[in-house]
Structure 1
Amino acid sequence: MKRRTSSLIALGVIWLSVPAAAWGTIVELKNGMRLEGSVGKIASMSDDPLKTPTAGAVDNQLIVLVDNDLKRTFVSTYQVQDVQEAAPTPVERIKIDQRVATSGRSVHAVGEGIRVTPWDEYGRRIYSMQTARGPVDVIQGITEITPEWTRVEGLMSDSPYVWDMRIRTSSIPRDKLSEILMRRIDAKDAAQRLQIVRLYLQSERYRDAAAELSALMNDFEDLKKQFGKQYDELIQLSATTLIDEVELRKDTGQHNLAYGMLNKFPGDKVASSTLLKVKSMLTEYQTAYERRDKMFNLLKEHLEAFADPAQKPIVEAAMAEMEAELNINNMDRLGPYLRLSDDPSLKLDEKLALAISGWILGPNSAQENLVVALSVYQARDLVSDYISNRNDVDRRAILEKLKGMEGGAPVYVAKILQFMKPPLGNAEPETASEIPGYYLMRVPGVPGRSDFFYYVQLPQGYDPYRKYPTVMTLHGAGTTAEQQIDWWAGSHSEKAKIRTGQAARNGYIVIAPMWAEEHQFEYNYSAYEHAAVLFSLRHALRHFSIDTDRVYLSGHSMGGDAAWDIGLAHPDLWAGVIPIVAKADKYVARYWENARSVPLYFVGGELDGNKRELNSRDFDRYLTKTNFDTTIVEYRGRGHEHFQDEIQDIFRWMDIHKRNFFPKEYEVVSMRPWDNFFYWLEVNDFPERSLVLPANYPEPKKSPVKITAKVLATNGVLVNSGTGKANIYLTPDIVNFDERMTITYDGRNYGNGVTPSTEVMLEDARTRADRLHPFWAKVDTNDR
């Protein structure tokens, strides 16, 4: 847990009589993650993490285990950057008296949850689960509460179960947690009341800690002098937390919300330095709005002075668009124009050119030639029409127009694609909701089958001029796409008129395809299921402003199985894959090497049947070999459930993972004909010895086709695949088109006469829908 160390030291008086310390070992990973807990090593994920290793076994223990009492996290020793022994942080532990079951049936596996009642005021609930013997009800009680985790145990009953599970303390509703704590302590005992203050403080619930300390001082007059300063510091910590929230909303593009929070910022007992920061942030917003107004006035002034009758209609159209759509997310495009607007050496048409070209191509490509600027402005609309048009004849006509325009050159079209709004952003959804930004979308399906559908939730303040990180989430058996949206984005608050979950806070788009057939209870590894996910992704890319380098695939249960398989089958599409309570089967075992190309974050429960044993073969591959960025999280005493507890750590992991679409070298495998596109390479005609369809799986004598690709320092690429033919796509990130290049595929050279093509670029943007990384040229090995 993140700690405000200096603030906690300042509140040292409150730490009197604090119980045992928390873990002091910090493991820093190469991907930027930090893990804290008790550290050990194991040789295999099938090993018992609690068992002491035998003599001589340590040498092959390449899996690092970090246990923080809530969960165990497993990573590869090859991914560890540093291990630090830090001073342990004191942690409050509050015991709750319960009649704990010490005899009876021991819970060795937790079946799928049927019903879990809410916590009552005594910290008890009923957990109903499905077992081989039928439904079972277990009475559970909270027996220990810490800032990070809460211990839940089976209680005495007519049919007791011995069960020790851990949940994140923050998963207990705040009001209910307070009620449970207040029933546990003697309200007339100041020392016990201070326990609750310390617990809230260490949980970073500063407002709750301040409220409890205030109530304590009101009940014990003699404590006001002793704890008055600590109360003020808690108010300051609460204000600092609010500042952090404002900065998060600002950084994620939720400017109206951030600005409103700043205007309503509480000032009572808040340090002057904090209030100065609030004032500075308000001034920053005000400066931005004044800068925008200045741009408006300059554009109006320059337009009125512009007199060329032939060009003025187009200039007026461009100016009207900027006036209508210029905002805090895109006004940096006019930065060069604003900076040079009063330069006497620039002519009027050159200034207007800077504005228009910057608006279309971005600030780094703004130029002073008005003819070019107007050409790219007109080309932008044609580009949008092309990639959104499904008629071949119409597209050919558009392409002919672009070929006759300077703005239709590949160097300009690439920038147009990067900075344009989604081409179908104004299309009507299948259905809209009363919840802002929540839509059901229809996707044309595969021939002969019905259309696909997906739900999408846009973040508050969504702006098509801003690129958003995105989660694609796949539901499990018996759950729905709507529930997946709620899991990630939170429920909708009628009072606040916003969703309150982590995707909403962090400014993520959430997409939930309705990917499975009705009454489907297991993932089938089929082309249809892949299409349901990938077609939905491409449809969303055409309709919404998505950062294609930050798309994360996740799923629960059966959906987790799908996410694992689809993530390995198409590793170039994802910044990371998060399978939750997933199991490895079929192609996952054959595609394990592809996990080197995509970060993986698994979440599961210690008691989820034999899931760890089923997955151990593939987990061991990821954790005992080099160059795998894999994290496996296992909650103690938990089974097959949704693991909402983990969502904040998942977002921390996603925030530090971004896709590298142009690796210098990669190696992948495939066994299905639709798993054939990897980064800039599309392979076809798989050899029969490598082709296995899901209906025929397994075919033990067949092995995956291995594809290796490398970008050469000598201006070329080298590909070996063993397939019949391929399309190799090129960009300036891969080769220099102005120099001689070598394109070698399975020993043959195809590098002669390769030049950038607007047609190739537009077809790629139309079909793949990745406007951030369009391909410039195509080498078809079948043509040579």
Structure 2
Amino acid sequence: MRAAFALGLLLGTAQPSPAGDAVLTNGIRLTGKPVPIQALTTRLQRQKSGATITYSILMVDNGLARYFVANNLVADIDHSVELSSLETFKLKQSISGRKRMFGSIGSYAGVTPFDEYGRRRIALRTAKGRENVIQGVTRIHPRHLTVTGLSHTWEHGMATTSIPPQILDRMIRKVTDHSNSDNRRAIARFYLQAEMYRQASMELKSIKRDFPELAARMDEMGTNLRQLQAGQLLAELNRRRDAGQHKLATAAVRSFPVEGMSAVVLRQVRELDSSGRKQREELAKARMLLGDLQAQLTNEKDKSSAAMFRSIVNRELDLESLGRLDAFSKLSGDDTLSPKQKLALAYSGWVTGSAQAVTEFATAARLWDARFLALEYLRADTIRQRDDLFGQLDELEGIGPDTVGRLIPLLPPPVETPGVEPGVAFEVEVAAGQTKPKRTVDEEPEQATYRYSVLLPPEYSPNHNYPLIVALHPPERTPTDELQWWGGTREKPGQSQRHGAIVIAPSYADKSLTHYDYDTRSHTIVLAAINDARKRFQIDSDRIFLSGHGMGGTAAFDIGMSHPEMFAGVMPICGFCEVFAKWYWRNAKSVPWYVVGGEFDRDATEQNANVLNRMLTNNCDLIYAEYIGRGYESYYAEIHKLFDWMGRQRRAALPKKFEAQILREADDRFYWVECRGLPKKVLLAAANARAGSGRVRPMSLEIKINDGLPGRTTIYVRSGAEQNVLWLSPELVDFDKRISVRLNGRAVRINGQSKSSDFLRPSVRTMLEDLRKRGDRQRVYQVRLPL
């Protein structure tokens, strides 16, 4: 935007004047007018008492929306931003006899496109039926349009990018003089500032044709504009490459417009092209070397093993997995190594990573045996099968928890999903929740089945780690509609495909529901869908984001606060944070939130203010975007900001100290602690919370790890549950130290012994069971400790 503004200055009259962007600690910039405030609403502000007035919230108003953040999230207020003199156009509208607008605005029953005069008709759903409202655009700004009610008292903004370019252009032409060079340059400045570079380029060429005396200046501007376009395209190419979309990036580099480009841009293009070509050459060379070296083996058993390994590697090898062969590629020309040793480097590096590659072929073969047995374990349907497979794995020499921990991140997804096409929505059926008792000891419990829809990004590869967006639909839309909001279709790709994210949309609610009912069955379905997707696709569990619209936004609030350990961020859009959120917001302080709503969306502003205000004043990582004068909408204009925000988030590290409030039996796991069998008074409190009356006092879970004593770690647990289970990993405790546990102030026996402290031994079986159930490759627990 700054570059476009500077370029716009060369076109004429615009003069820079400072604004005040808020720069957050995570790098996000909130553009607009920053104002410190005490509370989200005047009602909450009046409730504040005390002699000291504190302004713990920062509001940034850009005319379209107000953004609220906690002051501790603000790293800087940048007063050097030159934005207040952006080019604008005013449209005259006839306003008379307007009706009073409603106190809240629900969904639209119908909307006509804007005409060339900037007018449209909206049909609103109201308690009295449909109400037709006529609106007119009164101001066009590079970032937003001001829309005013002509038949009703109503004013709000709309993102400029939400208007089709041809309609926007017709509106601008109606209020400018085509024969006036200053007007035409104003149009070019506008398009530059709006970063609509294609339209800006067309206008510059048109000005040059119509006003020959300005030709030299327009040529200079055209050259500078091409540099801006090139920078935009290069950023997109790097984004696509980072998302694993190498074919698309390669094709785009080959067709990159080089005419008139600066030396800096041309160098970057050459570097991209050279890097891609080098990777493709290395991949082809690796395939050839594996075949050549295999042919040089003399032992028939080694030949047979190498042939099997090579067959699998050839099938799985792509640009995303090429790095596993780095050690092999670097040492393939070392004459001191035999063909067998070089192949050991390749095949051991393939299953445990290049940094762990070894030159002993027998060791590499055992690693492949372990890989095969681990995959079969994860795929096994019965306990008896898993017992047998683990027995074989346990007998392998040198295969312990550390080795299995290195194998797990590089395993292919254990559940195959044939016939999947990137860019095309498809449905998956998943089991979630026991419904019938087992008939035999070996039989797995019969499960209820639920469905979720999936959209994969272009060039999906099981060797690339993808972020996951869990999208919960509102009652008026289907799961497929929700997928398309995020990702579009194959013919018209949307933002999730561009950014390389997988999107799933669980069928989490009965079709008859019009409001979220806080039934934990929705939690079960959503969590089961996530766990199943992690077993089918290569999902980075440190980048799972929960979102939803309307009823789905309310569910996102509830599920995100009930299971904070699952998510890198939560994005409710037009949802309500009520009922359990009044107590559960404390559970989610470690999770980043991006909440989007409309100022007149039903009574959501008032309903949500208490919880959101508590979160902001308690320094939660929260951005709250409130669209001015808007109601119940999907707010697609916010999607670019949402992806920018997601790109900066990762799931928080496991906390060694935390507190959680629990009201429902289904909310039985927080981070690495399970609590089962809640006190009856807590279950009664949950019923009171849902009813909105009576005393509500959640069960408090308090956890602390103290590892300050030499050679000893103590875990303190305070819980009212009947049974508590700890899931431990090296991220939490040092297994070389003695570990003791104190539950509600009393020492707990470790490993069923009389000792109050002991060494805990990491277990491969525990690791595989945890992975089989949850599918979380990035966080695998090694010890399960019931208390």
> With structure 2 as the length reference, what TM-score do the two structures score?
0.92
Q: 1:136 aligns with which of 131, 140, 143?
A: 131
Specify whether residues 707 and 204 from structure 1 end up closer, same or farther in structure 2 by C-alpha distance, changes over 3 A only. Answer: same
Distance in 1 between the 2:300 and 2:736 partners?
39
Distance in 2 between the 1:597 and 1:730 partners?
19
- Please provide the CA RMSD for this pair: 2.3
Alignment of 1:346-365 (within 5 A): 346-365=337-356
Alpha-carbon distance, 1:52 to partner: 13
Alignment correspondent of 1:460: 458
Alignment correspondent of 1:328: 319
Alignment of 1:724-739 (within 5 A): 724-739=722-737
Distance in 2 between the 1:692 and 1:56 partners?
36
Q: 1:17 aligns with which of 13, 16, 39?
A: 13
2:178 corresponds to 1:187: yes
SS in 2 for 1:691: helix
Alpha-carbon distance, 1:663 to partner: 2.3
Specify whether residues 235 and 328 from structure 1 end up closer, same or farther in structure 2 by C-alpha distance, changes over 3 A only. Answer: same
Alignment correspondent of 2:439: none
2:774 corresponds to 1:768: yes
Deviations 1:489-523 (A, max 9, x none): 12442xxxxx4211111111111111110121111
Q: 1:637 aligns with which of 586, 609, 629?
A: 629
Q: 2:78 aligns with which of 78, 84, 90?
A: 84
Alpha-carbon distance, 1:477 to partner: 1.3
Query: Is 32-41 or 472-481 further displaced after alignment?
Result: 32-41
Q: 2:295 aligns with which of 304, 312, 315?
A: 304
Query: Is 37-46 or 21-30 further displaced after alignment?
Result: 21-30
Alpha-carbon distance, 1:556 to partner: 0.4
Alignment correspondent of 1:225: 216
Query: Is 740-749 or 174-183 further displaced after alignment?
Result: 740-749
Alpha-carbon distance, 1:10 to partner: 4.6
Alignment of 1:484-523 (within 5 A): 484-493=482-491, 499-523=492-516
Alignment correspondent of 1:61: 55
Q: 2:401 aligns with which of 410, 416, 425?
A: 410
Distance in 1 between the 2:62 and 2:34 partners?
9
Distance in 1 between the 2:641 and 2:7 partners?
27
Check whether the contact 1:340–1:351 (CA below 8 A) recurs between aligned residues. yes
Check whether the contact 2:425–2:483 (CA below 8 A) recurs between aligned residues. no
Q: Percent identity?
A: 32
Distance in 2 between the 1:259 and 1:724 partners?
59
Alignment correspondent of 2:365: 374
Check whether the contact 2:469–2:504 (CA below 8 A) recurs between aligned residues. yes
Deviations 1:541-585 (A, max 9, x none): 111110000000000010000000000000000000000011122
Q: 2:144 aligns with which of 146, 149, 169?
A: 149
Distance in 2 between the 1:617 and 1:10 partners?
45
Check whether the contact 2:8–2:193 (CA below 8 A) recurs between aligned residues. no
Alignment of 1:318-717 (within 5 A): 318-406=309-397, 408-424=399-415, 426-428=416-418, 436-448=423-435, 451-493=449-491, 499-626=492-619, 628-692=620-684, 697-698=690-691, 700-714=694-708, 715-717=713-715
Q: 2:262 aligns with which of 247, 252, 271?
A: 271
Paired residue type of 2:10:
V
Alpha-carbon distance, 1:121 to partner: 2.7
Alpha-carbon distance, 1:125 to partner: 1.5
SS in 2 for 1:240: helix
Specify whether residues 411 and 54 from structure 1 end up closer, same or farther in structure 2 by C-alpha distance, changes over 3 A only. Answer: closer
Specify whether residues 306 and 437 from structure 1 end up closer, same or farther in structure 2 by C-alpha distance, changes over 3 A only. Answer: farther
Query: Is 369-378 or 161-170 further displaced after alignment?
Result: 369-378
Q: 1:214 aligns with which of 181, 205, 212?
A: 205
Alignment correspondent of 1:496: none
Specify whether residues 55 and 470 from structure 1 end up closer, same or farther in structure 2 by C-alpha distance, changes over 3 A only. Answer: closer
Check whether the contact 1:594–1:669 (CA below 8 A) recurs between aligned residues. yes
SS in 1 for 2:522: helix
Alpha-carbon distance, 1:717 to partner: 3.2
Check whether the contact 1:111–1:608 (CA below 8 A) recurs between aligned residues. yes
Check whether the contact 1:94–1:195 (CA below 8 A) recurs between aligned residues. no
SS in 1 for 2:640: helix
Alpha-carbon distance, 1:299 to partner: 1.5
Specify whether residues 75 and 404 from structure 1 end up closer, same or farther in structure 2 by C-alpha distance, changes over 3 A only. Answer: same
2:201 corresponds to 1:204: no
Deviations 1:162-191 (A, max 9, x none): 111111101111222122222332211221
Distance in 1 between the 2:728 and 2:91 partners?
64
Alpha-carbon distance, 1:345 to partner: 3.5
Distance in 2 between the 1:653 and 1:132 partners?
37
Query: Is 666-675 or 81-90 further displaced after alignment?
Result: 81-90
Check whether the contact 1:152–1:166 (CA below 8 A) recurs between aligned residues. yes
> With structure 1 as the length reference, what TM-score do the two structures score?
0.93
Paired residue type of 1:38:
K
Alpha-carbon distance, 1:23 to partner: 6.2
Check whether the contact 1:119–1:176 (CA below 8 A) recurs between aligned residues. yes
Alignment of 1:87-106 (within 5 A): 87-89=81-83, 90-101=85-96, 103-106=98-101
Paired residue type of 1:82:
D
SS in 2 for 1:59: coil
Specify whether residues 57 and 114 from structure 1 end up closer, same or farther in structure 2 by C-alpha distance, changes over 3 A only. Answer: farther
Check whether the contact 1:249–1:506 (CA below 8 A) recurs between aligned residues. yes
Distance in 2 between the 1:275 and 1:399 partners?
56
Specify whether residues 106 and 412 from structure 1 end up closer, same or farther in structure 2 by C-alpha distance, changes over 3 A only. Answer: same
Specify whether residues 56 and 197 from structure 1 end up closer, same or farther in structure 2 by C-alpha distance, changes over 3 A only. Answer: farther
SS in 1 for 2:738: coil
Check whether the contact 2:685–2:695 (CA below 8 A) recurs between aligned residues. no
Alpha-carbon distance, 1:328 to partner: 1.0
Distance in 2 between the 1:692 and 1:468 partners?
41
SS in 2 for 1:161: coil
Check whether the contact 2:8–2:14 (CA below 8 A) recurs between aligned residues. no
SS in 2 for 1:162: coil
Deviations 1:592-632 (A, max 9, x none): 21121211110000111321111111011101113x11111
2:282 corresponds to 1:291: yes
Check whether the contact 2:18–2:82 (CA below 8 A) recurs between aligned residues. yes
Deviations 1:527-549 (A, max 9, x none): 21111111111111111110000
Distance in 1 between the 2:598 and 2:641 partners?
16
Check whether the contact 1:45–1:613 (CA below 8 A) recurs between aligned residues. no
Q: 1:742 aligns with which of 731, 740, 743?
A: 740
Alpha-carbon distance, 1:56 to partner: 9.2
Specify whether residues 484 and 602 from structure 1 end up closer, same or farther in structure 2 by C-alpha distance, changes over 3 A only. Answer: same
Specify whether residues 22 and 205 from structure 1 end up closer, same or farther in structure 2 by C-alpha distance, changes over 3 A only. Answer: farther
Distance in 2 between the 1:416 and 1:546 partners?
16
Specify whether residues 118 and 87 from structure 1 end up closer, same or farther in structure 2 by C-alpha distance, changes over 3 A only. Answer: closer
Specify whether residues 474 and 57 from structure 1 end up closer, same or farther in structure 2 by C-alpha distance, changes over 3 A only. Answer: farther
SS in 2 for 1:60: coil
Specify whether residues 11 and 185 from structure 1 end up closer, same or farther in structure 2 by C-alpha distance, changes over 3 A only. Answer: closer
Deviations 1:699-736 (A, max 9, x none): 63341111222333334533322322211111111122
Q: 1:37 aligns with which of 18, 32, 41?
A: 32
Check whether the contact 1:705–1:721 (CA below 8 A) recurs between aligned residues. yes
Query: Is 130-139 or 164-173 further displaced after alignment?
Result: 130-139
Alpha-carbon distance, 1:44 to partner: 2.0
Paired residue type of 2:780:
P
SS in 1 for 2:259: coil
Distance in 2 between the 1:127 and 1:733 partners?
55
Paired residue type of 1:732:
P
Deviations 1:241-272 (A, max 9, x none): 11111111111111110111001111222223
Distance in 2 between the 1:238 and 1:395 partners?
56
Specify whether residues 716 and 54 from structure 1 end up closer, same or farther in structure 2 by C-alpha distance, changes over 3 A only. Answer: closer
Deviations 1:455-490 (A, max 9, x none): 111010110011101100000111111111111112
Distance in 2 between the 1:729 and 1:372 partners?
31
